[in-house]
Amino acid sequence: MTSLTRTEARGRAATVDRPRYAVELDLTHGETTFASRTVLTFAATPGETTFVDLKATELLEATLNGEPLPAEAFAHGRLQLTGLAADNELVVRATMSFSRDGSGLHRAVDPADGEHYVYGHSFMDAAPRVFACFDQPDLKAPCTFTVTAPSDWVVIGNGAATREGDVWHLAETAPIATYFTSICAGPYVSVTDEHDGIPLGLFARRSVQAQLEANAPRVLEVTRRSFDYFHELFGIRYPFGKYDQVWVPEFNAGAMENPGCVVLRDEYLFRSRVTGAELLSRDNTVSHEMAHMWFGDLVTLAWWDDLWLNESFAEYMASRCVVGTGLYPDAWSDQGIVRKAWGYSAERSPSTHPVAGNGSEDALAALQNFDGISYAKGSAVLRQLIAYIGDDAFVAGVRDYLQRHAHGNAQMSDFFAAMERAHGASLTAWTDAWLRTAGLDAIRVDVDWDDESDVVRRAEVVKVAPEAHPAQRSHALDVAGWTDGEEVVRARLTLDEDRRVVHELLDRPRPAIIVPNASDLTWATVVLDEDTLRRLPEQLAQVDDLAARVVLWNALRDGVALATVDPRLVVDVFAASWPLELDDSVLSAVGRYVPDVVVAVYLPADERPLARERVADAGAAALQAAEPGSTRALAAARVVASTSRDEELLRRWYAGRELPAGLAGDADFRWLVATTLAGDGALSVAELEEAHAADATVAGTLAWLGARAARPLSEDKAWAWAELTEQRGRSNHEMNALAGAFWRSGDTAVLRPYVERYFADVPAMCAWVGDDAMARVAKLAYPVQLAEPETLQRSQAAQGRSDLTAAVRRGIVDQESVLRQVLLSRDTYRG
């Protein structure tokens, strides 16, 4: 299939105007295909030629202005239209296929009861897998859907639904981009409500009705507060009528902001105990998707190089909302330890790109830029913009932008024209440095002090721009210092030059630790001085400033990746500090990062057992110190369950005996224990099959696949690899479960043959797996845990191939950069 280029989109937008869709879908034709009929009316330049996008299994009929189109007009996912009139009607009747990769109309079977569910994900270039359309964001159109479905199914879509027998009529929408259209159908159950005149609906699979009802009060509270907050902030009411949120199985992303029909992954309907960080993640996602109703849906980007106008703003606005409404006062720290850490990693990759103007020349290339830069860096840059022009000017500019471009499209110049009107001055230099240039500065504090008196004689904060992406960025930040838990200095400053004296540090005793960007206000790599690094194991836990602790953990993470911090030091800091941490987000994020990345990837294989024991001991210490049944206790128990080598303890927990308080009957915790036991070869295939039979749910099936793939023997790896790369019936989430657990255990001799197979077998999966799903599979299945020069050689050779899709190439490029980081770290810090 051909991917739409920017040049083609411009040409088509210049030819056609005022499109309107009436789409009929019949979902009663079986489990593999459905019928689609599109009536597309549009104005055009008379005599011109254009095309519609159509990814049909079979084209049955196509007429333009009453005249049949020839068979040869349909090829490579496009239907050519010639001899256009001033006003046109295109009718297309086709057979379409349900997908298993999370795009188009995805059809899933709930293993708990055998019921079938359909959801529509038209994102990027998937809408033509559902109906014939001008699939580009700047040809927004009203849409009407009529859906025929089995008699016991419910149909939800962008417009309000009415039913006549088995036929559902969805009200015409306001003008929306094709990538926002969605149809969800199946025996969904619901919880309904209303707020401020807006009908609210929550929908989920029938088998998880109890989970839906248990989670609904909190979700509805977040929904109501977010509506109130955004209505006041933007000065524009929600413009799309009703507001449904549908939790669906096997969704590729966290959620999708379809107006009136937000789709979310149903893992967010928690069935087990969760930490505060997980609850925040879900609730932040609810607010994030609502922010898109204004940034993305009401005002839509003109082309994908302005993706940041959608994602950076939703990312920023969601955190602002959950903080501003009092739902999560510390959400900015969660943004730092989770999202900014993700973004910093993306900046280190060769695939880094500017926040805006990312050069997406076609739709599939643009898909690769839905990453930590477009989300996390963009959000952080908006905070810097506010520090630069003030919040009042920022809010005024946002309102101006939304009002001027409501129900239309906009680009970067439109947004900054509004900001400059509010600010009263040009922002060109600022946007060039922060938005049009990739890379991030490194910021450190250079300190000299008298050895005898410990008094500081020189202190300068230093900014170093990356050689590959030089820019003059202005940073609003602070520098703070602590000694034995007491904050002894804090300097707030704007760093325009390359270095600046920190007068507040001079002529006073050197703090035990000095933290640049202590309030986590700017976007930069924080480089800690050697004395601070040396004293972190004893000092970090005593710092009572949450933002500073986040900055310190991110500095360690960045230092490991850049080979400026020994990963063994991170284990030391974890062992000393993590058991005393009180913040849920830090506990959860660091509790995953240290065992899963530092220990399992960066440390040499012969050092991992001891490091794993130290991590498990820290988890046990935190569990003992935590209040029984608290979220802190849950985070600690998970660390123990995932790292302990005490088979007797894990066996007792697996059997449901002597569990930490609150975890009796917790299916997800039991699977975590099972995966650790399986990875150590201590849980048999038969035992895993028995556990799966007892939890034959979507979540249980995914957990079983991961535990099964984690088993270390050669026959286990052969089974898992075949299930991943040869079994075409596996869903996107099932492939992720297999790929994510494959490399976590097994002797090097057992795993090494699969390095070569990765570069042969995974790209071949593109024949039946879509790009959105393949992006995740390619990343998860990459053999970064087998960090050897031979792995790097095979990876480099693979990049020379011309047959890699953009998604697979991006996965290889990004993971190869991590592989290089691991090899450099081991070479720098040889044990």
Just list the catalytic residues.
289
Given a contact cutoff of 8 angstroms between Cβ atoms, the answer to whether 142 and 178 are in contact is no
Alpha-carbon distance of 584 to 281, in angstroms, equals: 11
Could you tell me whether strands 161-164 and 116-121 are parallel, antiparallel, or unpaired per DSSP bridges?
Answer: unpaired
Cβ-count burial 687-708 (b if 16+ within 10 Å, e if not): ebeebbeebebbbbbbbbbbbb
End-to-end CA distance of the chain: 51
CB-based burial label for 437 (10 Å; 0-12, 13-18, 19+): buried
Any idea of the CA torsion for 657, 661, 667, 669, to the nearest 10 degrees? -90
Q: Which whole-number Å values give the CA distances from 331 to 276, 316, 318, in the listed order?
A: 11, 11, 9
For 35, other C-beta atoms within 10 Å of its C-beta total: 16
Cβ-count burial 156-186 (b if 16+ within 10 Å, e if not): bbbbbbeeeebebbbbebbbbbbbbbbbbbb
Angle of helix 806-828 relative to helix 789-799, nearest 10 degrees? Answer: 150
Any idea of the CA torsion for 294, 300, 306, 312, to the nearest 10 degrees? 20
Cβ-count burial 399-435 (b if 16+ within 10 Å, e if not): bbbbeebeeebbbbebbbbbbbebbeeebeebbebbb
Binning the chain into helix, strand and coil, the percentages to the nearest 5 are 45, 20, 30
CB-based burial label for 649 (10 Å; 0-12, 13-18, 19+): middle
Going by C-alpha positions, the residue among 531, 537, 528, 599 that lies closest to residue 572 is 537
Given a contact cutoff of 8 angstroms between Cβ atoms, the answer to whether 372 and 356 are in contact is no
Going by C-alpha positions, the residue among 687, 701, 695 that lies closest to residue 665 is 695
Alpha-carbon distance of 278 to 629, in angstroms, equals: 16
Give the total residue count for the chain.
831
CB-based burial label for 827 (10 Å; 0-12, 13-18, 19+): exposed
Task: Please give the single-letter amino acid code of residue 332.
Answer: W
Task: Please give the single-letter amino acid code of residue 259.
Answer: P
Going by C-alpha positions, the residue among 269, 223, 222, 262 that lies closest to residue 246 is 262
- The token pair that represents 334 in the structure block: 């969660």
For residue 169, list its beta bridge partners.
146, 162
Cβ-count burial 203-230 (b if 16+ within 10 Å, e if not): bbbbbbeebbeebbeebbebbbbbbebb
